[in-house]
Structure 1
Amino acid sequence: MRQPTRLCAALAVAFGGLAAGQAFAQETKQQLERVEVTGSSIKRVAAEGALPLTIVTKEDIARTGATTVQDLVNLVPSNFGGAVANNNVGATGNASEANLRALGSKYTLVLLNGRRIANFAFGNSPVDLNSIPLAAVERVEILRDGASALYGADAVAGVINFIMRKDFQGVEIQAGLAKTANKGADGRNASIAAGFGDYDKQGFNLVLTGSYEHIDRLKAVQRPFANSGIRPELGVAQVSTRNGIPNLNFTDTRGNEYTGVNPLRYNGCNSPAFALANVGDPTQCATDYVKFIDLVPEQTRAAFSGRQIIKLNADHQLVLEYMHTRDRSQSFYSPAPYTEVVRFPFAIRPGTRFYPTAITLPKGMTLPAGYIMPNGSVLAADTVLGADMQVTPAGNLSGRWRTVAGGGRSDITETENDRFMIGANGSIGGWDYDAAVVMSKNKGEIYFGPGKFSYAKLQPLLDSGNINIFGPQDATSQALLDSALISGQRQQTAKSRSTEFDFRMSRELMATANGPWALGMGANYRQELIDQVSEPVLASGDEVGGDGAIPSVSSGRKVAGVWAETVYPVAKGFELTGAARYDKYKNDFGTSFNAFSPKASVKFQPMRELTLRGSVAKGYRAPTLYENLRPLSTSNNTASNWSDPIRCPNGVPINNTANPVEEVQDECNIQLAAGFSGNRNLKPEKSTQFALGLGFSPTPSMTFAVDYWNVDIKDPIVPKSEAQVLGSPVQNKDYIYRYDPRITDPAALGSLNNPIKGSQNPDLPIAYIYLPFENTAKTYASGVDFSAQFRFNAGEMGKFAVLYDSTLFVTHGYQYTGLAKTSDLGKFKDFGSAPRYRHAATLQWNMGKIGASLTNNYTAAYEDYTDSTLVGADYPLVRKVKANVTWDMQLTGEVMKGLGLTFGVKNLLDKDPPASRNSLYFQVGFDPTYGNPIGRQYYLNAKYSF
Structure 2
Amino acid sequence: MTFSDGAFANCPGPGVHLPAGNLSRTLISLGRQCKISVLVRASTADNYKLPEQTIATENGEFEPILRQLLQRSPFTYERVGPGAVAVIEKADEPESEPFDHRAAQTEEITVTGRGLTGSHLRHPQLDSYAPIDVLAQPELEITGAQTVAELLKFLPAVSGNSTSTSVSNGGDGTATVTLRGLPASNTLVLINGRRIVSNGFGGEAADLNTIPLSAIDRIEILKDGASAVYGSDAIAGVVNIILRRDFEGLSVNSYYGTAEPGDQRTESYHLTWGKSGERGHLMLSLAHYRQGALMSRDRGLSASADNRARGGTDLRSAASPGAFIALDADTTVTNDGDGGYRPWTQEDRYNYSEYTTAVVPSERQSAYLEGNIDLGDSALLFVEAMGIRTRAETTLAPTPVFTRFDNGDLTIAADQIYNPFGQEITDVRKRVLELGPREQDNRTDTWRLNAGLKGQREDWQWELAAALHYTRASESLSNLIDPNRLSAGLKGPDRCNARDDCVAVDLLGPSGGVDSEQLEFMRGESLVDGSTRMLSLLYVADGVLGSNSAGDVLGAAGIEFRRESIDFRSNDARGLSFIGGIAAGSAEGQRMIGEAFAELSVPMLTDAFWLDGAVRFSNYSDFGSTINPKVALRWRPTPSLMVRASYATGFKAPTLVDMNQTGYQSQEFLIDPCTGNGADTLPGCHGRADGARIQYLTEFGGNPELQPETSDNRSLGLVWTPKQLSDFSASLDLFDIRQNDVIDTSPQYLIDRNAHTGLFTDRVLRDARGDITRIRATRLNIGAREVRGLDLALRYEHTSEQLGQLRWSLNASHMQRYLNQAAPGSPTEDLAGTFIDPASGGAGSLPRWKANTGLYWQKGRWEGGYTIHYVNALEESFTRNETRITREIDSWTSHDFQVAYALPFGLRFAVGIDNLLDEAPPFAATAFNDNYDGRTYDLSGRYWYTTLSYNL
TM-score by length of 2: 0.82
The equivalent position to 1:770 in structure 2, one of 776, 780, 789, is 776
Aligned match of 1:37 in 116, 131, 137? 116
Residue 586 of structure 2 is matched in structure 1 by 552
Q: Which residue in 1 is equivalent to 2:831?
A: 824
Matched AA of 1:556: Q
* Distance (whole Å) between structure 1 residues aligned to residue 874 and residue 772 of structure 2: 36
Cα distance change, pair 46–61 in 1 and its aligned pair in 2 (3 A): farther
Shift of 1:86: 3.5
**Cα-to-partner distance string for 1:635-661 (whole Å, 9 max, x where unaligned):** 53362123399x974489999xxxxx8
After superposition, residues 369-768 of structure 1 pair within 5 angstroms as 393-396=421-424, 399-428=428-457, 430-449=459-478, 451-463=479-491, 465=504, 467=506, 469-473=508-512, 477-482=515-520, 484-487=522-525, 491-535=527-571, 537=572, 540-541=575-576, 543-548=578-583, 550-572=584-606, 573-587=608-622, 592-637=623-668, 639-643=670-674, 649-650=680-681, 666=690, 671-698=695-722, 699-720=725-746, 722-724=748-750, 726-728=752-754, 733-734=759-760, 736-737=762-763, 767-768=773-774
Q: Is the 8 A contact 1:737 1:766 kept in 2?
A: no
Pick the aligned partner of 1:804 from 810, 814, 817: 810
Q: Deviations for 1:146-168, whole angstroms, at most 9, x for unmatched residues?
A: 11111001111111111111111
- Give, as a single letter, the amino acid of the residue that structure 2 aligns with 1:857: H
8 A Cα contact 1:93 1:122, kept in partner: no
- Matches of 1:408 and 1:482 in 2, distance apart? 15
The counterpart of 2:215, out of the listed 136, 144, 165, is: 136
Give the count of matched residue pairs. 839
Shift of 1:689: 1.1
Deviations 1:522-575 (A, max 9, x none): 11011110101223x455325222334x53211111111111101000012111
CA RMSD of aligned residues (A): 3.4
Distance 2:683 2:597 in 1: 60
Question: Residue type of the partner of 1:840?
Answer: N
| Cα displacement (A) at 1:849 | 0.7
Shift of 1:814: 0.8
* Match in the other structure for 1:375: none
Query: Could you tell me how far apart the structure 1 residues matched to 2:466 and 2:790 are?
Result: 38
SS at 1:42 equivalent: coil
Q: Does 1:910 align with 2:918?
A: yes
1:121 match: secondary structure: coil
Q: 2:951 — aligned with what?
A: 945
| Distance across 2 between alignment mates of 1:196 and 1:736 | 66
Write the distance in 1 (CA, Å) between the matches of 2:267 and 2:142: 18
Match of 1:853 among 848, 865, 877: 865
Query: Aligned partners of 1:803 and 1:654: how far apart in 2?
Result: 56
Which amino acid is the alignment partner of residue 867 of structure 1?
A: F
- In structure 2, the CA distance between the partners of 1:292 and 1:23, relative to structure 1 (3 Å rule), is farther
Q: What letter is aligned with 2:631? A: A
C-alpha separation in 2, matches of 1:219 and 1:32: 43
SS at match of 2:519: helix
Give per-residue Cα distances to partners, 1:275-328, cap 9 Å, x unaligned.
Answer: xxx9xx747721122222111111011111111111111410011010111110
Match of 1:261 among 317, 321, 333: 333
Question: Aligned-pair distance for 1:127?
Answer: 0.2
Task: Please tell me the residue identity of whatever aligns with 1:226.
Answer: S
Give the C-alpha shift of residue 354 in structure 1: 5.7
1:863 aligns with 2:852: no
Assess, with a 3 A threshold, how the Cα gap between structure 1 residues 71 and 559 changes in structure 2: closer, same or farther.
Answer: same
2 CA distance for matches of 1:544 and 1:722?
Answer: 22
Could you tell me how far 1:456 is from its partner in structure 2?
Answer: 3.8
| One-letter code aligned to 1:514 | A
For the residue of structure 1 that corresponds to 2:945, the secondary structure is strand
Q: Could you give the per-residue CA deviations for residues 695-718 of structure 1, whole angstroms, max 9, x where no partner exists?
A: 111233111111111111111111
Structure 1 unaligned blocks of 5 or more: 15-21, 252-256, 271-277, 357-392, 656-660, 742-761
Judging changes above 3 Å, is the alpha-carbon distance between structure 1 residues 517 and 340 closer, same or farther for their aligned structure 2 residues?
farther
Partner of 2:103: 25
Mapped to 2, the partners of 1:68 and 1:12 lie a distance apart of: 30
Please give the per-residue CA displacement for 1:312-367, whole angstroms capped at 9, x wherever unaligned.
Answer: 114100110101111100111222222367269546668877666xxxxxxxxxxx
715-724 vs 927-936, which moves further: 715-724
Q: Residues 701 and 92 (structure 1 numbering): CA distance in 2 closer, same or farther, change over 3 Å?
A: closer
SS in structure 2 at match of 1:305: strand
CA distance in 2, matches of 1:797, 1:734: 69
Q: Is the 8 A contact 1:262 1:284 kept in 2?
A: no
- Tell me how far apart the structure 1 counterparts of residues 412 and 490 of structure 2 sit (CA, whole Å): 7
The residue number in structure 1 matching 2:59 is none
Query: Could you say if the C-alpha distance between residues 86 and 27 of structure 1 is closer, same or farther in structure 2, counting changes exceeding 3 Å?
Result: closer
Q: How far apart are 1:458 and its partner, in Å? A: 4.2
CA apart distance, 1:738: 7.6
Is the Cα contact below 8 Å between 1:292 and 1:332 reproduced in 2?
Answer: yes
1:652·1:668 contact (CA, 8 Å) conserved in 2? Answer: no
3-state DSSP class of the match of 1:287? coil
SS of corresponding position for 1:59: helix
SS of corresponding position for 1:897:
helix
Residue type at the aligned position of 1:513: S
Q: Would the aligned equivalents of 1:13 and 1:789 in 2 still touch at CA under 8 Å?
A: no
Mapped partners of 1:185, 1:124: distance in 2? 28
What is the identity, as a one-letter code, of the residue corresponding to 2:39? Answer: A
Aligned equivalent of 1:231, options 294, 307, 312? 307
The 5-angstrom pairing of residues 778-797 of structure 1 reads 778-797=784-803
Change (3 A) 1:148 1:340: farther
Q: Of the candidates 376, 397, 400, which is equivalent to residue 334 of structure 1?
A: 397
Distance 1:190 1:701 in 2: 37
Q: Report the secondary structure of 2:335's partner residue.
A: coil
Shift of residue 843, structure 1, vs aligned partner: 1.6
**Does 1:883 pair with 2:911?**
no
Shift of residue 735 of structure 1? 5.2
Partner secondary structure for residue 256 of structure 2: strand
Q: Distance in 1 between matches of 2:117 and 2:710?
A: 22
- Measured at CA, do residues 24 and 918 of structure 1 come closer, stay the same or move farther in structure 2, by a change above 3 Å? farther
Query: Could you tell me which amino acid in structure 2 is paired with residue 506 of structure 1?
Result: D
Moved more, 236-245 or 107-116: 236-245
Choose from 9, 26, 30 the match for 2:39.
9
CA apart distance, 1:410: 2.0
Distance change >3 Å, CA 4–CA 354, structure 1 → 2: farther
In the alignment, the residues of structure 1 paired with residue 411 and residue 112 of structure 2 have an alpha-carbon distance, to the nearest angstrom, of 77
Q: Which runs of 5+ in 2 are unaligned?
A: 1-22, 29-36, 41-79, 84-99, 492-502, 837-841
Q: Percent identity?
A: 22
Separation in 2, partners of 1:267, 1:465: 19
Gap change, CA 1:618 and 1:735, over 3 Å in 2: farther
Task: Write the distance in 2 (CA, Å) between the matches of 1:682 and 1:470.
Answer: 49
CA offsets 1:663-717 (integer angstroms, 9 cap, x no match): xx95998654433212211111111111111111123311111111111111111
In the other structure, the counterpart of 1:222 is: 298
Q: 1:219 & 1:408 partners in 2: Cα distance?
A: 13
- Distance in 2 between the 1:415 and 1:539 partners? 26
Structure-2 change in CA distance of 1:332 and 1:594 (3 Å): same
Q: Which residue of 2 aligns with 1:368?
A: none
Structure 1 351/693 Cα, relative in aligned 2: closer, same or farther at 3 Å?
A: closer
What SS does the aligned partner of 2:381 have?
A: strand
Contact 1:118 1:498 in 2 (8 A): yes
Distance in 2, matches of 1:687 and 1:446, equals 34
Q: Contact (CA 8 Å) 1:800, 1:844: kept in 2 or not? A: yes
